[in-house]
Amino acid sequence: MTEDNWFTWNEPHPLDASLRAHDFEVFADYHTHTVYSRNHGKGTIEDNLLAAREKGLTELAITDHGPAALGIGIREVKTLEVIKARTTHYNRLFADIRLLAGVEANVVSIDGRLDVPRSALKELDIRVAGLHYQIMPASVSDGFDIILNNLVLSKLSRRMRRRARLVNTKAIVEAVNHYNIDIVSHPGLKLDIDTHELARAAARRGTALEISAGHPYMTVDFIRIGLKEGVKFSIDSDAHKPANVGRLESGIRLAERAGVGAADLINARPLRARPLRAREAGPGERPDARVALAEELAPEPDQTRKNPRVRRS
Ligand SMILES: [Zn+2]
Ligand SMILES: [Zn+2]
């Protein structure tokens, strides 16, 4: 590769317009799968990385399915070490995007056990965990509650539906309480849960709930309940192929409709504050542009009083 090519290759991409909301812009996708999610993920780590750079994202997490996901999870816990080593390698190569080695762990028992041991979770940069029913449960009775109940029995009677919801909620809340989980993936997808209860536990533990752009079941109500409980959110793609990495528009629109701001999101920054940062001055910027922007964005005096975080500088 010639030096010229190298620079073109390494030129940072501007943030894709689809990642911008009215008040915030999303800079990271914290939930993506690769070929390490066997039979499920289509791209390599490098494919996902290049797709994320193309979108102008500055952080990307690789979060393949934990080993208990039947036929689609990582082959063994040790695979996480391989993923970590690869992300470290790419982080040395690229200065404009940071890769995070992670996992989407499975809850395998109703007392909230995950399929990845704590020692392995500790080595990762980010821990996503969620409820899935295509798993190898910790025991036969856990299998009854997590798989049979959700797949079959809850469809037969209202009583069993209520029971499934109770059990699912307990399982994910226990996981949040007993592990340092950064994000709960797609809460309520296919396995019904009590959002109030999960959001309360997650808010207390500093765990974010995911606004999934990869599954169309999400509602504004789900987000509003979370906001009321003071929980933070992460808008992620759950991409299983590179083309979907950073495809977050549906999640961003939903978040906007629910009244989510940058402060409620772990992967977004406020949009209006951005032009005021001196270090972001680009080459060729007109000398008067900064002043003009500063004036345009300066808050009204009464706004300054109401919100002490808004400053004029
Ligand atoms: Zn999942
Ligand atoms: Zn996933």
The ligand that comes nearest to the alpha carbon of residue 236 is: 2
Is the pLDDT at 285 greater than 90? The verdict is no
Rounded CA-CA distance 287/209 in Å is 42
Q: Are residues 302 and 222 in the same domain?
A: no
Rounded CA-CA distance 251/7 in Å is 33
The percentage of residues in the chain with a pLDDT greater than 90, rounded to a whole number, is 76
DSSP SS3 for 212: strand
Q: Please provide residue 214's backbone torsions phi and psi, each rounded to the nearest 5 degrees.
A: -95, -10
In a domain, 224, yes or no: yes
Tell me, what DSSP letter sits at residue 146? I
CA of 31 to the centre of ligand 2 (A): 6
Q: What is the pLDDT of residues 153-211, one digit of tens each?
A: 888 889 989 999 999 999 999 999 999 999 999 999 999 999 999 999 999 999 999 99
Give the pLDDT confidence score for residue 9 in this predicted structure.
56
Q: Are residues 121 and 54 in the same domain?
A: yes
Average pLDDT over residues 40-54: 96
Domains held by the chain: number:
2
The ligand that comes nearest to the alpha carbon of residue 237 is: 2
Handedness of CA 153, 179, 92, 16 (dihedral sign): positive
Give the pLDDT confidence score for residue 273 in this predicted structure.
55
Give the pLDDT confidence score for residue 274 in this predicted structure.
53
Average pLDDT over residues 293-299: 38
Q: Confirm if 184 and 210 have CB atoms less than 8 A apart.
A: yes
Give the structural domain span for 289: 280-306
Q: What is the pLDDT of residues 86-142, one digit of tens each?
A: 999 999 998 899 999 999 999 999 999 999 999 999 999 999 999 999 999 999 999
Q: Are residues 267 and 291 in the same domain?
A: no
In a domain, 48, yes or no: yes
**What CATH number did the domain enclosing 163 receive?**
3.20.20.140
Which band of pLDDT confidence, cut at 50, 70 and 90, is reported for residue 292? Answer: very low
Q: Confirm if 34 and 241 have CB atoms less than 8 A apart.
A: no
Q: Are residues 288 and 140 in the same domain?
A: no
The ligand that comes nearest to the alpha carbon of residue 184 is: 1
Q: Are residues 267 and 294 in the same domain?
A: no
CA of 275 to the centre of ligand 1 (A): 36
Regarding predicted confidence, which is higher, 310 or 68?
A: 68
CA of 185 to the centre of ligand 1 (A): 6
Is the pLDDT at 266 greater than 70? The verdict is yes
Average pLDDT over residues 215-230: 96
Q: Where are the alpha helices (DSSP H) in the chain?
A: 3-10, 45-54, 79-93, 118-122, 140-143, 149-151, 158-178, 195-205, 220-229, 249-258, 289-297, 301-306
Which band of pLDDT confidence, cut at 50, 70 and 90, is reported for residue 5? Answer: low
The ligand that comes nearest to the alpha carbon of residue 62 is: 2
In a domain, 8, yes or no: no
In a domain, 6, yes or no: no
In a domain, 14, yes or no: no
The ligand that comes nearest to the alpha carbon of residue 131 is: 1
Give the pLDDT confidence score for residue 133 in this predicted structure.
92
CA of 187 to the centre of ligand 2 (A): 11
Q: Are residues 299 and 222 in the same domain?
A: no
Q: Are residues 119 and 171 in the same domain?
A: yes
Average pLDDT, the chain: 87
The ligand that comes nearest to the alpha carbon of residue 34 is: 2
CA of 58 to the centre of ligand 1 (A): 23
Give the pLDDT confidence score for residue 296 in this predicted structure.
39
In a domain, 313, yes or no: no
CA of 158 to the centre of ligand 2 (A): 29
pTM score of the predicted model: 0.84
CA of 33 to the centre of ligand 2 (A): 6
Give helix 220-229 / helix 249-258 axis angle, nearest 10°: 60
CA of 156 to the centre of ligand 1 (A): 25
In a domain, 3, yes or no: no
The ligand that comes nearest to the alpha carbon of residue 41 is: 2
CA of 130 to the centre of ligand 1 (A): 6
Q: Are residues 102 and 77 in the same domain?
A: yes
Which band of pLDDT confidence, cut at 50, 70 and 90, is reported for residue 10? Answer: low
User: Cα–Cα distances in Å, from 264 out to 2, 199, 202, 234, 268?
Assistant: 44, 13, 13, 9, 9
The ligand that comes nearest to the alpha carbon of residue 63 is: 2
User: Bridge partners of 126?
Assistant: 102
In a domain, 66, yes or no: yes
Reduce the secondary structure of 147-201 to three states and give it as a string.
Answer: HHHHHCHHHCCHHHHHHHHHHHHHHHHHHHHHCCCCEECCCCCCCCCCHHHHHHH
The ligand that comes nearest to the alpha carbon of residue 186 is: 1
